[in-house]
Each structure stands twice: as structure tokens, then as C-alpha cells.
């Protein structure tokens, strides 16, 4: 019969292995902070954003060029996006089962180019055969929510439950930002992130709890001994 120390070690190893299945891992977004291509002062990429599909109301500039510096960003460059017809989107890979995806981004208006109450929509949506599939997951991003010249961040999630209910496994996952047409100004966009959180199946979760309880029970008995 295995010793108490061996059983405790095995239960802890099992807990660690099962917990790893629920670890949050970064998904790949190409050019997430718009640092490519590297720009010299007063240079820019106008009318497109490398790594993304976009309208011509989008581009990349250095933070602080052509408008006031925006605090709270990532790196030295950012994207600009028109509130009226600006759209950025990127396909990030195939949707996996038992996984919740969360997309976040920051937006801001510069004080010398205020956009009033202009807003954007963050969207996660499945895409296949040239069309959206299922219901998109949307959230409103308000650049001016925390003031001018500072990024405000928002996030949106496409849950494992929705993916299962709408049969989205194996579809392409698309991240999208688009203006809602309530301002004629341009906002600054930066620091796009996408994370995938694996949700353990009920049987795995029960096994994890059982292993945890087994380890705790042996530890209590060992202390009493």
C-alpha cells in the first residue's frame, strides 16, 4: 500500500495537472500594439493597418505625433480609427471547445481632437464561408469615459456556453472594432489583447475537487499523528 506521503504527492500532482487545463493563455493577435512598422517622428501609415483588414479611416502613427500624447498605452505607436466609418478586424484562429475567449482594447480622444460622446463597438464573432456565424458578442467602448488624453479599456467575452449552444467550434474567431457613427473625429486605439480560458469539463472539475479533498485529508491525519 502506498505511503501517506506518496498519496499526498500523487493527489497534489493530479491537482496541478487538472488546474493547468484551466490556465489562461494568450491567443495570437498580429501587431496588437501597432508597433509594426517602426515609424520615425512625423511618419505614419495612412489608410490601412498592417496585420488587419480595415477601412481607409484607419492607420498607424507615433503616440504624440499629429495630436496630443495619450497616456496608458503600450509602446510608442498606436492606431487611429474614424468614429464614423472606421473598422479594424483580424481573424485569429479556429474556435476551440470548452473555451471562453475575451477580447480587450483601449481607446482615447486627444484633447486637441475631442470626439465628444463618440463610441466604438468591440466584437467577437465566429466567421465561416464569407459570413458571420451565430450571435456576435459585443461591448461598447467609450474613449472619453475616463477623460481626454488617456486610454479607456473595455473587454468582451464569447463564452464556452455560447460556443457550444451555437455550434461555433471549428469556426474562425474574428476580433473587430468599429465606430458607431456618433462623431466625425478620430480616436486612438491601442493594446489589443485576446485570451482563451479553458473551462474544465464537469467530470474533470469533480476529479480536481476530489483530489484536493484527498490531499487535505491525508495532511490532516499526518498532523494529528
Q: Is the confidence at residue 12, as pLDDT, over 70? A: no
Who wins on pLDDT, 23 or 97?
97
pLDDT for 200 equals 82
Who wins on pLDDT, 100 or 206?
100
pLDDT for 182 equals 87
- Section 116-124 average pLDDT: 94
Instruction: Decide: 88 and 167 in contact? Cβ < 8 Å.
Output: no
All three cell numbers of 34: 501597432
pLDDT for 27 equals 66
- Section 133-146 average pLDDT: 96
Beta strands (DSSP E) in the chain are: 24-26, 44-46, 53-54, 58-62, 77-82, 87-94, 99-108, 120-128, 131-141, 152-158, 172-179, 186-198
Q: What's the whole-number average pLDDT of the chain? A: 86
Q: What is the pTM of this model?
A: 0.81
Model confidence band, residue 168 (pLDDT cutoffs 50, 70, 90): very high
Who wins on pLDDT, 203 or 40?
40
pLDDT for 212 equals 53
Helix (H) or strand (E) segment spanning residue 95: none
pLDDT for 170 equals 96
% of the chain beyond a pLDDT of 70: 77
CA separation for the pair 79, 108 (Å, rounded):
11
Amino acid at each position: 500500500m502506498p505511503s501517506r506521503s506518496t498519496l499526498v504527492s500523487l493527489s497534489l500532482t493530479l491537482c496541478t495537472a487538472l488546474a493547468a487545463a484551466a490556465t489562461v493563455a494568450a491567443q495570437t493577435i498580429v501587431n496588437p500594439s501597432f508597433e509594426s512598422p517602426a515609424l520615425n517622428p512625423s511618419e505614419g501609415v495612412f489608410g490601412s493597418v498592417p496585420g488587419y483588414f480595415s477601412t481607409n479611416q484607419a492607420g498607424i502613427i507615433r503616440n504624440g505625433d499629429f495630436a496630443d500624447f495619450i497616456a496608458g498605452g503600450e509602446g510608442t505607436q498606436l492606431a487611429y480609427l474614424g468614429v464614423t466609418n472606421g473598422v479594424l478586424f483580424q481573424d485569429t484562429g479556429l474556435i476551440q471547445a470548452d473555451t471562453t475567449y475575451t477580447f480587450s482594447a483601449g481607446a482615447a480622444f486627444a484633447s486637441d481632437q475631442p470626439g465628444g460622446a463618440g463610441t466604438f463597438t468591440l466584437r467577437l464573432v465566429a466567421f465561416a464561408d464569407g459570413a458571420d456565424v451565430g450571435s456576435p458578442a459585443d461591448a461598447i467602448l467609450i474613449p472619453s469615459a475616463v477623460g481626454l488624453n488617456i486610454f479607456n479599456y473595455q473587454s468582451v467575452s464569447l463564452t464556452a456556453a455560447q460556443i457550444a449552444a451555437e455550434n461555433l467550434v471549428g469556426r474562425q474567431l474574428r476580433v473587430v472594432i468599429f465606430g458607431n457613427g456618433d462623431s466625425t473625429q478620430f480616436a486612438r486605439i491601442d493594446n489589443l489583447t485576446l485570451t482563451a480560458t479553458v473551462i474544465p469539463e464537469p467530470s474533470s472539475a469533480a476529479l480536481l475537487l476530489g483530489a484536493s479533498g484527498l490531499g487535505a485529508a491525508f495532511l490532516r491525519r499526518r498532523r494529528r499523528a
